[in-house]
Structure 1
Amino acid sequence: MMAPLVLSGQETFQSLKPCDLSCCTKSEIKAYFENSYDLNESIFTGLKEECAIYKCPDRLRLPLIFYYAHTACVYVNKMFLGGLITKRINPEYESLFETGVDEMSWDDTENFRMGGQYKWPNLKDVVEYRRQVREVILQVIENTPLELPITKESPWWSLFMGMEHERIHHETSSVLIRQLPVDMVTRPKGWKYGPVTWGEGVKENPMVTVSEQTTVTLGKPQDFPSYGWDNEYGELECKVPPFRANKYIITNREYMEFVESGGYQDSQFWSKEGWSWKQYRQANHPLYWVCSQGCKNGCGSNLSASSHCRPQDMEGTNEKFRLRAVYDVIDMPWDWPAEVNYHEAKAYAKWKGPSYRLPTEAEYHVMRGEQKDVKEGVACDIVYQDNCNANIRFIYGSSTPVNMFPATSAGFHDVFGNVWQWTEDHFNGFPGQDTHWLYDDFSTPCFDGRHNMIMGGSWITTGDSASRFARFSFRRHFFQHAGFRLVESIGPQPTPLRLVDTEVFVMGVGIEDKVDPKEVNLPNGFTWVPSTNLQYHYDTAESLNRQLQLEYGAGSKFLDQLLEHVTRTVKQHGTETRRILHIGCGVGKISFQLAKQFEEVVAVDFCGRFLDAAISLQSGKSLTYTVVNSDNKREKHEAVLGDTSASNVIFKQLTWLPNEIGTYDVVLFENIDRVMNPKAWLRRLWEILNKKGVLIIISTKGWDQAKLRPYIQDRLQCSETHSLPYYELGGNKKQVNYTVWHLKSSGYFHG
């Protein structure tokens, strides 16, 4: 058994309620932390052998050892950034286990760096690391002054960020363990599956009508006394016209009709994207259904040849299918929700008829019925209520019959809990939403039109994830404890559905096709909206043309001057010239020039188009850009790297600066004007500078020393401030400020 190996605390499958941040005590924080930590470790006690934790249950995910360690290192990284701790515990682990994989396509190849060919640390050492992190956090809770209320500006916010992040991964780990071959797991003591039926069972699933137009306000108040992720804040008011929706989540029994009718073999029910996914996965039924036909499993590495659909698991039943629960294969609970991805849900909806679709986010809120006023504080939120009447917070270790918990005042069951429910809305921020500097890229990379929202939480959802304000999303091919219900519009009124229309460039792929509303039976009156991730708006064909012109045309003289100043600064400070990090590298011209002075140049940008162009130039290709001349005529020019040696330039697309970025003698920060949350980037910079290293920050918008100081930790001090003349396209002269910073002698050094 794995319990003695993976537990640094107590085995438990009971969840506590979150803390009220307006009045919580240290003892409550301590209890909530240990419960978060214990729950995560306890899920892994169901692995039969130590070798299972090194397996990759999904080829688009990492081995389980990563997820076991990942949550502990996020505590350290966020608390270190937030100032609750002053030194790291294990910098190697806090780099290795920091960043996971958010696969951006269902046909990504397996990541062997973190998959079958990578040698992961010994489990005993990783368990010891988790134990050390636990002890450090308990000391922080005991010794750090607690000022209430805890707000987003409080150092304590970083600890709550770690706890709520860990609770998200309770679900991630359970989903992955559920995909392991069943022979590798065993149900832990204390893990309790829900009942198979309830009452007279579910004979039918009628449509319930919401007849009156309703206005709903989406978004969490900024001062609400509970932890929240960045995408929850802001405010959006929606007018919701009448609609009909299923009383219950679609059950396994209902979905069986679609499977038996040949729905998985008929492309007319699937979107283009969905059918491509279906063929790639060779799916014949939902992932967690088990048959005797040896279906492809989707596991990675050395599990890829195994199958979940084995004849021996169907012995003793006359049914065509059984169900894989987290640790067992059980007889099919026909009244439980059908757990599918978005593509499968939409195929079922189209099979039912052209008027059927999934709910919108706003309609989902209406289905929740009357709720307490937010002015009542945490009492208004279901996750804080003792009798929540929903299958959330680990009451069971599985789904439950869809009729088991009472309906809301609007007449709908399981709008909270049981399984997550897919919606039609693309994930996006609300008006007024901003990122948090401790986790600038938690949500924004997913505001890409490729992530659909899921609502309501599942049986294993706890903490903020089960809140009435929670907003999560996944790629449409993603597997989760997720199901769906169907909706029909009533009348011609516009539907409050928001789809992201901003083009997102994916390196190596280009621009993916937008969703075709007709193809997936979307209602009339939906709204195309821009992504609230401002970075995506920089990454356009026009921006690339402009950047090429600036670096290889009109702006080249400025870049030459800038390079001279960098060279002078390095000599003046006696800085080493081994490694330089160039943040905001654009299409790479100055990075290529820096390669003459430095042994290694790491060039970072968010814009995939820019990096694709830079890599093309590095490979010896020329790029064409267009200039409008004084006669208003378009002239074509070529950008060519020339004879510069560029083999020592490494280009990376990053949404922030993870630990794996390493440390540098010089950091040249050239795109501060276009990052969404400057504080998030600036607070990281002191740690990635080597001793005697220098940081050079460049801005066209007046980021001088006075403006930068509030964002930069005391470990950095300004050496000098300069201005350079800069000519925009069209000949308009501007000033570019650049400031040089270096570590104080009392700083914390890696090198």
Structure 2
Amino acid sequence: MSVIMTDVLRQSFTERFSATRNLTTQIFDLTEESTLHKSPGFGFRPIMWHLAHLGAYEEFWLLMQAKGDAPINERFQIIFDPIKTPRENSKDLPSKLEMRDYLKNVRDGVQNLIEKADFNGDNEFLRDGYIFDLVHQHELQHQETLAYLFHLLPIEKLQAPKLESKAENQNAKPDSTQIEFASTFCEIGADTKSFAYDNEKPAHAKFVQCFKLDKFLTTNAQFADFINEKGYERREFWSEKGWNFKQKEEWNAPLYWSKTGEKDWKIRTMFAENELQSVADFPVYGVSFYEAEAFAKFRGKRLPTEFEWERAASFDGENKREFAIEPTPETSNFGFNFWNTTPVNRFVSDVSGCADLAGNVWEWTTSDFAAYPDFTAFPYPEYSQEWFDGDHKVLKGGSWATHKPILRNSFRNFFRRHFRIAFAGIRCAENI
């Protein structure tokens, strides 16, 4: 790497780390500190825990591992490590001010490392800035996790930010158009040209049979039809595990829906309760893999595999694209631009013919989260390898709270089959 390219990389990391931390601060300012010190429910740690966890992770990988420093605060390295401190022991936390002082001290050390690091040397963490990308994307992903947690809080406890863009849309109603994809060999996964997690590697050839994919994400109106047709009560749409889990949890609608009449629903979004009619063309979310699977069967369809999804998003017959569509505020809903979902037909379709393959809501696939051929865990097994357990499913695409680097087609999100907290929805597929 030339001196000029090294300077460009230093400047890039400085700017990215600063902008990302500014948004993290904005997210934590959405509610008062007393609320942050409580769990939002569902067994999660107090929201405040995540603030210092970001600093502890940054300190561990950049200052302790890459640079070799002693910890700034040994106690923080214990209580904000999810492996060393279980959830039930994460209640007695330092103040917001103490956490922010810690984050500042860590960031001062990190900035010094950015200015002096040898990106061309033998240190595999520092080479090409790998470990900086890892830490930066960790914070980007935690911002989305924070959005999930804040979404669980009562609306009256949240102070919505001022938005320049609105989620409305004047386009024609979304329809049931499907896009056909021919059988082909394609390269799945990430090459080594840019940062990717271990579970995205190595890139490898995969033959994908022909299939059809819905042009649009499943809407709230379409999912309401499933409910009105007694979809939650009809055993024929559900897998055995899905039915048993639904019965145990007494699910009768997506997580963020509440009933107001026989067929009337209110749908909670980040900062508002909405009548179903007002968000009918927005994507359904807050559904588990089991619910997504049952809905697809109700429609006479199925969920796509992760390989089908990546084939649709990445290939136009000749070239492999990093993104389904180049993510900008004019093409995609991502990066907290709206702080909400948008109608499924608000943005133009990408090269594949599908809309919203990059952003709006994550999309469940039928694929188990598993290792690719010749997988190697790096830099630690807890990110991927420990979750190759057959219970986690891959999700693709991204949500409104996902940032551009993570919208890459090779990225593999993963949640347990029954998980409903995420901004995860449905796009159906069919055999040809």
TM-score, structure 2 normalization: 0.89
Which of 154, 175, 185 lines up with 2:127 in the alignment?
154
Distance 1:81-1:231 versus aligned 2 partners, 3 A rule: farther
Which residue number corresponds to residue 199 of structure 1?
Answer: 171
Which of 368, 372, 376 lines up with 1:430 in the alignment?
372
**CA distance in structure 1 between the partners assigned to 2:325 and 2:77 by the alignment:** 31
Q: Which structure has the highest strand share of the two?
A: 1
- Deviation for aligned residue 1:101: 11
**CA distance in structure 1 between the partners assigned to 2:121 and 2:16 by the alignment:** 17
Which of 259, 262, 271 lines up with 1:327 in the alignment?
271
- Deviation for aligned residue 1:192: 5.5
- Deviation for aligned residue 1:458: 1.1
Q: Which structure has the highest helix share of the two?
A: 2
**CA distance in structure 2 between the partners assigned to 1:152 and 1:373 by the alignment:** 31
Residue 272 of structure 2 corresponds to residue 346 of structure 1: no
Which of 350, 363, 368 lines up with 2:308 in the alignment?
363
- Corresponding letter in the other structure for 2:342: T
Which residue number corresponds to residue 336 of structure 2?
Answer: 394
Which residue number corresponds to residue 280 of structure 1?
Answer: 248
Q: How many residues are paired up?
A: 424
**CA distance in structure 2 between the partners assigned to 1:249 and 1:384 by the alignment:** 19
**CA distance in structure 2 between the partners assigned to 1:388 and 1:193 by the alignment:** 10
- Deviation for aligned residue 1:23: 7.5
**CA distance in structure 2 between the partners assigned to 1:51 and 1:81 by the alignment:** 32
**CA distance in structure 2 between the partners assigned to 1:149 and 1:246 by the alignment:** 47
What's the CA shift string for 1:508-542, capped at 9, x where partnerless? xxxxxxxxxxxxxxxxxxxxxxxxxxxxxxxxxxx
Contact 2:357–2:397 (CA under 8 A) maintained in structure 1: yes
Secondary structure of the residue aligned to 1:25 is helix
Secondary structure of the residue aligned to 2:356 is coil
- Deviation for aligned residue 1:388: 7.3
Contact 2:228–2:263 (CA under 8 A) maintained in structure 1: no
**CA distance in structure 2 between the partners assigned to 1:330 and 1:187 by the alignment:** 15
Contact 2:180–2:212 (CA under 8 A) maintained in structure 1: yes
Contact 1:259–1:285 (CA under 8 A) maintained in structure 2: yes
Secondary structure of the residue aligned to 2:105 is helix
- Corresponding letter in the other structure for 2:281: D
- Corresponding letter in the other structure for 1:200: A
- Deviation for aligned residue 1:85: 5.0
- Corresponding letter in the other structure for 1:231: N
The 5 A counterparts of 1:426-505 are 426-437=368-379, 439-478=380-419, 479-490=421-432
Contact 1:21–1:151 (CA under 8 A) maintained in structure 2: no
Contact 2:63–2:110 (CA under 8 A) maintained in structure 1: no
Question: Highest relative contact order (Cα 8 Å, sep 6+), 1 or 2?
Answer: 2
**CA distance in structure 2 between the partners assigned to 1:338 and 1:54 by the alignment:** 30
Which residue number corresponds to residue 643 of structure 1?
Answer: none
**CA distance in structure 2 between the partners assigned to 1:258 and 1:147 by the alignment:** 56
- Corresponding letter in the other structure for 2:290: H
Segments of structure 2 that go 5 or more residues without pairing to the other structure are none
What's the CA shift string for 1:56-80, capped at 9, x where partnerless? 1232321111122211111111124
Secondary structure of the residue aligned to 2:267 is strand
Distance 1:326-1:404 versus aligned 2 partners, 3 A rule: same
User: How much identity, in percent, do the aligned residues show?
Assistant: 26
Contact 1:214–1:240 (CA under 8 A) maintained in structure 2: yes
**CA distance in structure 1 between the partners assigned to 2:14 and 2:87 by the alignment:** 37
Secondary structure of the residue aligned to 1:46 is coil
What's the CA shift string for 1:108-152, capped at 9, x where partnerless? xx95323xxx32222221222222222222222234344499975
Distance 1:292-1:387 versus aligned 2 partners, 3 A rule: closer
Which residue number corresponds to residue 208 of structure 1?
Answer: 179
**CA distance in structure 2 between the partners assigned to 1:22 and 1:291 by the alignment:** 57
What's the CA shift string for 1:639-698, capped at 9, x where partnerless? xxxxxxxxxxxxxxxxxxxxxxxxxxxxxxxxxxxxxxxxxxxxxxxxxxxxxxxxxxxx
**CA distance in structure 2 between the partners assigned to 1:267 and 1:67 by the alignment:** 40
Which residue number corresponds to residue 496 of structure 1?
Answer: none
Segments of structure 1 that go 5 or more residues without pairing to the other structure are 1-19, 103-109, 294-317, 491-751
What's the CA shift string for 1:725-749, capped at 9, x where partnerless? xxxxxxxxxxxxxxxxxxxxxxxxx
What's the CA shift string for 1:221-260, capped at 9, x where partnerless? 12x1x22111111133222222122111111110010112
Secondary structure of the residue aligned to 1:412 is coil
- Deviation for aligned residue 1:398: 1.4
**CA distance in structure 2 between the partners assigned to 1:120 and 1:26 by the alignment:** 34
**CA distance in structure 1 between the partners assigned to 2:87 and 2:13 by the alignment:** 37
Residue 117 of structure 2 corresponds to residue 144 of structure 1: yes
- Corresponding letter in the other structure for 2:228: E
- Deviation for aligned residue 1:197: 3.2
TM-score, structure 1 normalization: 0.53
Which of 2, 9, 27 lines up with 2:11 in the alignment?
27
Distance 1:408-1:351 versus aligned 2 partners, 3 A rule: same
Contact 1:61–1:101 (CA under 8 A) maintained in structure 2: no
- Corresponding letter in the other structure for 1:364: W
Contact 1:62–1:101 (CA under 8 A) maintained in structure 2: no
- Corresponding letter in the other structure for 2:294: A
**CA distance in structure 2 between the partners assigned to 1:22 and 1:344 by the alignment:** 48
- Corresponding letter in the other structure for 1:475: R
Which residue number corresponds to residue 679 of structure 1?
Answer: none
Which of 151, 154, 166 lines up with 1:181 in the alignment?
154
Which of 208, 218, 225 lines up with 1:250 in the alignment?
218
- Corresponding letter in the other structure for 1:236: H
Which of 349, 353, 365 lines up with 1:407 in the alignment?
349
- Cα RMSD for the two superposed structures: 2.9
Distance 1:21-1:175 versus aligned 2 partners, 3 A rule: farther
- Corresponding letter in the other structure for 1:334: A
Which of 81, 100, 103 lines up with 1:130 in the alignment?
103
- Deviation for aligned residue 1:450: 0.6
**CA distance in structure 2 between the partners assigned to 1:37 and 1:371 by the alignment:** 39
Residue 214 of structure 2 corresponds to residue 241 of structure 1: no
Distance 1:77-1:150 versus aligned 2 partners, 3 A rule: closer
Contact 1:175–1:481 (CA under 8 A) maintained in structure 2: yes
The 5 A counterparts of 1:619-638 are none
Distance 1:485-1:112 versus aligned 2 partners, 3 A rule: same
Residue 195 of structure 2 corresponds to residue 227 of structure 1: yes
Distance 1:290-1:22 versus aligned 2 partners, 3 A rule: farther
